């Protein structure tokens, strides 16, 4: 394939996780940077919440019908393997995870400080081990059942797995969580990534790997690219190799881990991302821009670009 690249221009900064008194939270797209789950800011009381219990979850709620749907969605998502068994299906966690189902965005924000997140997963972390403690959800979000519930549960499942350690890159964690979402949600992310490619806003692999927590305006695109990278590796090399890569980055750089586990460089990861994208963009777009001009990616670190002269 002819290839082309332009230099990386954007810098993303921040932190990937929220740590408060031993609790870590990971969030969905469009979440604003937050400072903590400070009890002093929790102006909304949950005293009136009822409990809807399933085998593995206790859904605290004000809407029994919605709580029943969320409980069923959680159990269904738990029974489904993610990335060919990277996260295996689970029938019984052996304990119950609390799920806070807030009826509105305003109440969700008042209780969690996560004004635009849609959801979050929290865990108690000790060294390189974690135990999921709570999932918080905004019941008013339209993608709650199909995307937010499985996404946040995947974070909780990842915490509980042997894969977790405190050096896991953000794109790996979010890529796994997106893999648990519905097919429609993943396809929507592919469309977002394609638009970013066409407008020359797509981050290269080195930038993706260096990003800990993107600013709010880039978060959805970061999640799309994170999934493209994770899916590209899993599709090309399998889930067992991806597990080896996750273990390797505990002790070495991501670039070194790519070389040691896969024998590839970041630019090769970019190619895998673009191969995944070409396979998932709408059929009328295929591997071309809307104007019919082909996609080119040049070897080297930076931003993947659409169009132009492949020899430049």
The partner residues of 98 in beta bridges, in order of sequence, read: 58, 134
How many helices (DSSP H) and strands (DSSP E) are in the chain? Answer: 10, 10
Q: Within 10 A of 114 (CB to CB), how many other CB atoms are there? A: 23
* Alpha-carbon distance values, 244 to 175, 247, 275 (Å): 16, 5, 22
Sheet holding 5-6, edge to edge: 5-6, 303-306, 295-296
Q: Name the token pair of 257.
A: 């881990």
Q: Name the token pair of 112.
A: 């969690």
Query: May I ask the CATH architecture of the domain 18-160?
Result: 3-Layer(aba) Sandwich (3.40)
Nearest Cα residue to 269 out of 245, 251, 291: 245
pTM confidence score: 0.79
Neighbour-count burial of 80, counting CB atoms closer than 10 A to its CB (0-12 exposed, 13-18 middle, 19+ buried): middle
Q: Name the token pair of 156.
A: 């909780």
| Predicted pLDDT of residue 120 | 93
Dihedral sign from CA coordinates of 277, 225, 272, 145: negative
Domain positions in the chain are 5-13+169-306, 18-160
| Predicted pLDDT of residue 288 | 40
| CB distance 171 to 230 below 8 Å | yes
| Predicted pLDDT of residue 283 | 59
| Predicted pLDDT of residue 115 | 63
Same fold, 5-13+169-306 and 18-160: no
What are the average pLDDT values for consecutive 10-residue runs of the chain, which has 312 residues?
Answer: 27 27 34 32 67 97 97 98 96 94 93 81 87 94 94 95 94 97 94 94 94 82 96 97 98 98 97 94 50 35 31 29
Check whether domain 5-13+169-306 has CATH 1.10.390, yes or no: yes
């Amino acid at each position: 394939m002819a290839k082309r690249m332009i230099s990386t221009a954007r810098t993303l900064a921040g932190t990937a996780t929220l740590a408060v008194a031993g609790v870590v939270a990971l969030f969905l797209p469009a979440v604003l940077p937050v400072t903590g789950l400070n009890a002093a800011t929790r102006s909304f009381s949950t005293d009136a919440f009822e409990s809807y219990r399933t085998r593995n979850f206790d859904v605290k709620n004000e809407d029994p019908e919605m709580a029943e749907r969320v409980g069923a969605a959680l159990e269904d998502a738990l029974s489904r393997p993610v990335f060919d068994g990277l996260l295996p299906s689970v029938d019984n966690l052996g304990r119950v995870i609390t799920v806070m189902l807030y009826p509105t965005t305003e109440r969700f924000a008042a209780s969690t400080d996560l004004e635009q997140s849609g959801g979050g997963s929290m865990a108690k972390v000790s060294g390189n081990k974690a135990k999921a403690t709570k999932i918080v959800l905004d019941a008013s979000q339209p993608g709650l059942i199909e995307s937010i519930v499985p996404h946040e549960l995947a974070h909780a499942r990842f915490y509980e797995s042997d894969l977790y350690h405190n050096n896991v890159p953000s794109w790996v964690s979010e890529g796994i969580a997106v893999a648990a979402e519905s097919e429609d949600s993943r396809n929507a992310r592919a469309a977002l990534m394609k638009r970013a490619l066409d407008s020359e806003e797509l981050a290269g692999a080195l930038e993706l790997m260096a990003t800990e927590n993107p600013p709010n305006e880039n978060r959805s695109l970061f999640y799309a690219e994170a999934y493209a990278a994770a899916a590209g590796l899993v599709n090309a090399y399998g889930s067992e190799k991806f597990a080896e890569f996750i273990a390797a980055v505990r002790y070495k750089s991501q670039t070194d881990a790519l070389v040691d586990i896969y024998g590839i460089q970041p630019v090769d990861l970019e190619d895998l991302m673009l191969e995944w994208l070409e396979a998932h963009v709408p059929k009328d777009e295929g591997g071309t821009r809307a104007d019919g001009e082909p996609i080119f990616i040049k070897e080297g670190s930076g931003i993947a670009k659409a169009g132009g002269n492949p020899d430049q």
